[in-house]
A and B are shown apart, each in its own frame.
Chain A
Amino acid sequence: MSSPMDSTRGLFLRARDGDMEAREKLWKKLRERLCRYAHGKLPRRLRSLVETEDVVQNVLARTIRRADVFDPKHSGAFGVNLFTALKHELIDQYRHASRQPVEGETATSLAAQGLSPMEEAIEKEKLDRVITARSRLSDEDQALLNARLDLDLPYGDVALLFAKPSPDAARVAYERAIKRLVAKMVR
Chain B
Amino acid sequence: MSRSLDDPAGGEPDESEDLDDPRLAALVEALARGETVDWRQAEFSAGSEAEREQVRALAAISEVATFHRTWLAEGGITGNLDEDEEPDDEIPTHWGELEIIERVGRGSFGDVYKAREPRLDRIVALKLIRASAKTPEREAETLREGRLLAKVRHPNVATVHGAAGADGRVGFWMEFLEGKNLAEILQEKGLFDPREAAEIGIALCRALAAVHAQGIVHRDVKAQNVVRENDGRIVLTDFGVGRDATVLHTEEPSLSGTPLYLAPELFEGKLPSPASDLYALGVLLFHLVTGEFPITGNSFDELKAAHQGRKRRWLKELRKDLPGSFVAALERVLDRDLEKRGDEAGMEKELRRFLGERPLRRKRMRQAFIVAGAVFIFAVGMYVARELRRREALEHLDKAAVLHKEGHLQAAINELNEAKKIDPKNATVYLKLISYQSGLGRYSAALTIAKEADSLCGEFSLPSCLEVKGRLAIQLMDYKGALDNFEKVEKLGKDERILQEIVGLYRNLAQPDQGLPAARELGNIDDPVGAGELALTLSAAGRYPDAKVEVGKFRRRFPAHKYLPWVAGPVAIAAGDEATGENEFRSLATQHNDSEDESNGQLLWAQALMFRFKVDEAKEVLVKSSSLDFQEGFDRNEAIRKILFAKCFAIAGDFRQASLALQPILEQEKIPTNLKLFRNAALIAYSVNDIPLAVRFSKIVSQLAGKYTTSLSRSFDLQLKGELAWRRGNFEEAIKVITEARKERDDPQNSLSLARVYLGQKRCDLALPYLNDVVSRRGLIVDDFYTPWTIWNEAVASEASCRKK
A interface, size bucket: 35 or more
Bound together, the chains give a CA A107 to CA B60 distance in angstroms of 28
Contact B54 A182 (CB under 8 A): yes
Per-residue CB proximity of A134-161 to B under 8 Å, as 1/0? 0000101100100011111111100000
Q: Which residues in window 1-31 of B have CB below 8 A to A? A: 4, 6-9, 14-19, 28-29, 31
Name the A residues within 8 Å of B17 (CB-CB).
179
* Supplied contacts A98-B75, A153-B81, A184-B15, 12 more A-B pairs, CB within 8 Å: A44-B77, A94-B75, A105-B76, A107-B75, A122-B64, A122-B67, A130-B64, A149-B61, A179-B18, A182-B19, A183-B15, A185-B60
Within 8 A of A (CB), among B21-66: 28-29, 31-34, 50, 53-54, 57-58, 60-61, 63-65
Do A126 and B77 have beta carbons less than 8 Å apart?
Answer: no
**B81 — which chain A residues lie within 8 A by C-beta?**
36-37, 40, 152-154
Instruction: A141 to B15: give the CA distance in the assembly, Å.
Output: 13
Task: Kindly identify which residue among B18, B34, B84 contacts A183, using a CB–CB cutoff of 8 Å.
Answer: B18
Number of B residues whose C-beta is below 8 Å from A?
45
Minimum C-beta distance from A103 to chain B (A): 13
A135 vs B54: C-alpha distance in the bound complex, in angstroms? 18
Main secondary structure on chain A at its contact with chain B?
helix
Contacts of A118 in B (CB 8 A): 64, 67, 71
Contact bitstring A31-73, B, C-beta under 8 A = 1, else 0: 0000011011111110000000000000000000000000000
CA distance A103 to B74 in the complex (A): 17
Q: Give the shortest distance, in Å, between A143 (CB) and chain B (any CB).
A: 9
Q: Which residues of A contact B53 (CB under 8 A)?
A: 186
Partner of A180, one of B15, B60, B68: B15
B60 contact set on A, CB distance < 8 A:
122, 126-127, 129-130, 185
Q: Which 6 A-B pairs have the closest CB atoms?
A: A40-B79, A179-B16, A183-B15, A140-B8, A185-B57, A173-B6
> With an 8 A cutoff between CB atoms, is A29 at the interface?
no
Query: A: which residues have CB within 8 A of B?
Result: 36-37, 39-45, 74, 90-91, 94, 98, 105-108, 110, 117-118, 121-122, 126-127, 129-130, 138, 140-141, 144, 148-156, 164, 167-169, 171-186
Are A117 and B71 CB-contacts (below 8 A) given A44-B76, A154-B82? yes
Of listed B8, B50, B83, residue having the most chain A CB within 10 A? B8
- Complex contact A150–B68 (CB within 8 A): yes
B54's partner among A74, A110, A153, A186 (CB-CB below 8 A) is A186
Among A40, A91, A186, max chain B CB count under 10 A is at A186
- Which among A164, A175, A176, A184 has the greatest number of chain B C-beta atoms within 10 A? A176
Residue ID in chain A nearest B77 by CB atoms: A43
Residue from B18, B28, B63, B71 within 8 A of A178 (CB atoms): B28
B85 at the binding interface (Cβ < 8 Å): yes
CA distance A70 to B770 in the complex (A): 107
Asked if B72 and A41 sit within 8 Å, CB to CB, the answer is yes
Nearest A residue to B8 via CB reads: A140
Which chain B residue lies CB-closest to A167? B85
CB-defined contacts of A105 to chain B, threshold 8 Å: 76
**A-facing residues in B137-163 (Cβ within 8 Å):** none
Per the bound structure, the CA–CA distance linking A129 and B17 in Å amounts to 20
- Whether B69 is near chain A, meaning CB under 8 Å from some CB there, is yes
Across the interface, B84 reaches (CB within 8 A) one of A44, A156, A168, A186, namely: A156
Inter-chain contact A183/B64, CB cutoff 8 Å: no
Q: Please, which residues of chain A bring their CB within 8 A of the CB of B14?
A: 176, 180
A120 to B710, CA, bound (A): 80
List chain A residues, Cβ under 8 A from B34. Answer: 152
Instruction: Give chain A residues whose Cβ lies under 8 Å from the Cβ of B4.
Output: 172, 176
How far is B620's CA from A2's CA once the two chains are assembled, in angstroms?
83
- Given the known interface contacts A90-B72, A118-B67, A129-B60, the answer about A41 and B6 at a Cβ–Cβ threshold of 8 Å is no
